[in-house]
């Protein structure tokens, strides 16, 4: 009997479209279209920790620490989250949030922001 990939892969994985990250095209500079802060952190500190940049989307340093702590084989099969089975996003936002949720078969809940009069609060009822 021939091997049929569709019989062993979850439907949500089969439905994925390849994600292309523009970050791979650049080694320096600020990606303004990714909402990176061109001015650096607003609060002074001894170590700015690159707070004006998005963190590593693959979470390599954290995953490496978890692997060492738990004595695991490697980071390849490790997914980190907050323990929830849904992701709240406020569109428009960074596309990778939805992609990561889809890969892990997690529901995406879109919640609008109330920005009237400078509030900047979520509207969970909508």
pLDDT in tens, 14-73: 988 887 776 777 777 777 767 777 776 666 665 556 666 677 777 888 999 999 999 998
Which phi-psi region, left, alpha or beta, contains residue 37 (left: φ > 0; alpha: ψ -120 to 50)? beta
Domain membership flag for residue 122: yes
Reply yes or no: is the peptide bond before residue 21 cis, omega within 30 of 0.
no
Domain membership flag for residue 71: yes
* pTM above threshold 0.85: no
Domain membership flag for residue 24: no
Q: Which residue has the higher pLDDT, 6 or 43?
A: 6
Looking at residue 119, what is its pLDDT? 74
d(CA 48, CA 40): 8
| Among the ranges given (20-34, 85-99, 102-116), the one the predictor scored with the smallest mean pLDDT | 20-34
Task: Give yes or no for a contact between 91 and 108, defined as CB atoms under 8 angstroms apart.
Answer: no
Q: What is the domain extent for residue 65?
A: 57-126
Total number of domains in the chain:
1
Looking at residue 58, what is its pLDDT? 79
């Amino acid at each position: 009997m021939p091997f049929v990939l569709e019989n062993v892969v979850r439907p949500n994985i089969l439905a994925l479209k390849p994600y292309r990250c523009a970050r791979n095209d650049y080694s320096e500079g600020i990606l303004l279209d990714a909402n990176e802060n061109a001015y650096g952190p607003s609060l002074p500190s001894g170590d700015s920790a690159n707070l004006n940049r998005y963190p590593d989307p693959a979470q390599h340093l954290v995953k490496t620490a978890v692997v060492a702590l738990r004595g695991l084989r490697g980071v390849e099969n490790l997914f980190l989250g907050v323990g929830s089975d849904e992701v709240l996003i406020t569109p428009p936002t960074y596309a990778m949030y939805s992609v990561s949720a889809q890969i892990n078969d997690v529901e995406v809940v879109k919640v609008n922001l109330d920005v009237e009069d400078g509030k900047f609060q979520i509207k969970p009822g909508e």
